[in-house]
């Protein structure tokens, strides 16, 4: 069964360092998302990506964050200068185009980021 | 007002009980609705979509009331394996799919 894969599963970094989280969405999917979940809290929408550009982003997704799809398969989330409050589980998700299904999101297993 | 609001629980019920979760959403133009399940420290997984006419999948029944902007999930004959956090999810448009804070369910033997 196709799946979304994320790397690394866990990253520990020092405050102020840059972090890149990687995702390989399901191959025929067209919409890509990043969500984050701080421990014990809700799953928060960060950004959606379609047709090689950001289609929507939340207030959380400030200038410290960026996304790109450099090679047609990987979908990356970069945090330029990490803060303590960026510590969270980051989930990548993908889905097919509208009209082809109900809009089910398929999630990766997540990348846990710990900022010290 | 929160975009998607759920009772956080926790709900602690005995095996075999029936339990109901509710959810309200703020954007009346929202397109699609779902219930996801999240086990501890795992990724969310789709439990079922929610249709206007209501829909059932085994022991699970979902209802949608667009006029009231209200979604529900009913679990009958609950099993120990139903213990999880249940997430109400709303697709506002093609780009934005947002999650409620989740309702924790714990089934006791």
Residue A98 pLDDT class (50, 70, 90 cuts):
low
Q: Are A56 and B95 in contact (CB under 8 A)?
A: yes
Compute the distance between CA of residue A99 and CA of residue A11 in angstroms, rounded to an integer.
37
> What pLDDT, on the 0 to 100 scale, is given for residue A65?
97
Q: What one-character-per-residue DSSP string does chain A give?
A: ----EEE-SEEEE-TT--EEEEEE--TT--EEEEEEE-TTS-EEEEEEEETTEEEEE-TT--TTEEEE-TTSS-EEEEESS--GGG-EEEEEEEE--TTSSS---EE---EEEEE-
Q: Which of B69, B90, B89 is nearest to B24 (CA)?
A: B69
| pLDDT, tens only, B50-108 | 988 889 999 999 999 999 999 999 999 999 999 999 999 999 888 889 999 999 999 99
CB contact under 8 A, A41 and B34: no
Please state the φ and ψ torsions of residue B26, each to the nearest 5 degrees: -95, -25
Task: Tell me whether A32 touches chain B (CB under 8 Å).
Answer: no
Are β-strands A10-13 and A111-115 bridged in parallel, bridged antiparallel, or unpaired? parallel
| pLDDT, tens only, A16-73 | 999 999 999 998 888 999 999 999 899 999 999 998 899 999 999 999 999 999 887 8
Are β-strands B4-6 and B55-57 bridged in parallel, bridged antiparallel, or unpaired? unpaired
* Higher per-residue pLDDT: A1 or B59: B59
Task: Provide, as residue numbers in chain A, all residues whose Cβ is less than 8 Å from the Cβ of B98.
Answer: 45
CB contact under 8 A, B46 and A104: yes
Residue A77 pLDDT class (50, 70, 90 cuts):
very high
Task: Tell me whether A9 touches chain B (CB under 8 Å).
Answer: no
Copy the structure tokens of residue A104: 């089910």
In the DSSP assignment, the letter for residue B60 is: E
């Amino acid at each position: 069964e196709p799946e979304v894969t994320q790397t690394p599963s866990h990253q520990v970094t020092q405050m102020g360092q840059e972090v890149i989280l990687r995702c390989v969405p399901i191959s025929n999917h067209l919409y890509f998302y990043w969500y984050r979940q701080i421990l014990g809290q809700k799953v928060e929408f960060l950004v959606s990506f379609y047709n090689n550009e950001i289609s929507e982003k939340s207030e959380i997704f400030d200038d410290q964050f960026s996304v790109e799809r450099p090679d047609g398969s990987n979908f990356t989330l970069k945090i330029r200068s990490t803060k303590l409050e960026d510590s969270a589980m980051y989930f990548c998700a993908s889905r097919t185009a509208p009209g082809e299904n109900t809009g089910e999101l398929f999630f990766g297993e997540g990348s846990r980021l710990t900022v010290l | 007002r929160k975009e998607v609001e759920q009772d956080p629980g926790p709900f602690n019920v005995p095996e075999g009980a029936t339990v109901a979760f509710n959810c309200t959403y703020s954007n009346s133009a929202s397109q699609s609705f779902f219930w996801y399940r999240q086990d501890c420290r795992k990724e969310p997984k789709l439990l079922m979509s929610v249709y206007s006419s209501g829909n059932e999948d085994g022991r699970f029944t979902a209802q949608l009331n667009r006029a009231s902007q209200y979604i529900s999930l009913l679990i009958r004959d609950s099993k120990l394996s139903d213990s999880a956090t249940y997430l109400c999810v709303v697709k506002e448009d093609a780009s934005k799919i947002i999650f409620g804070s989740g309702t924790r369910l714990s089934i006791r033997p």
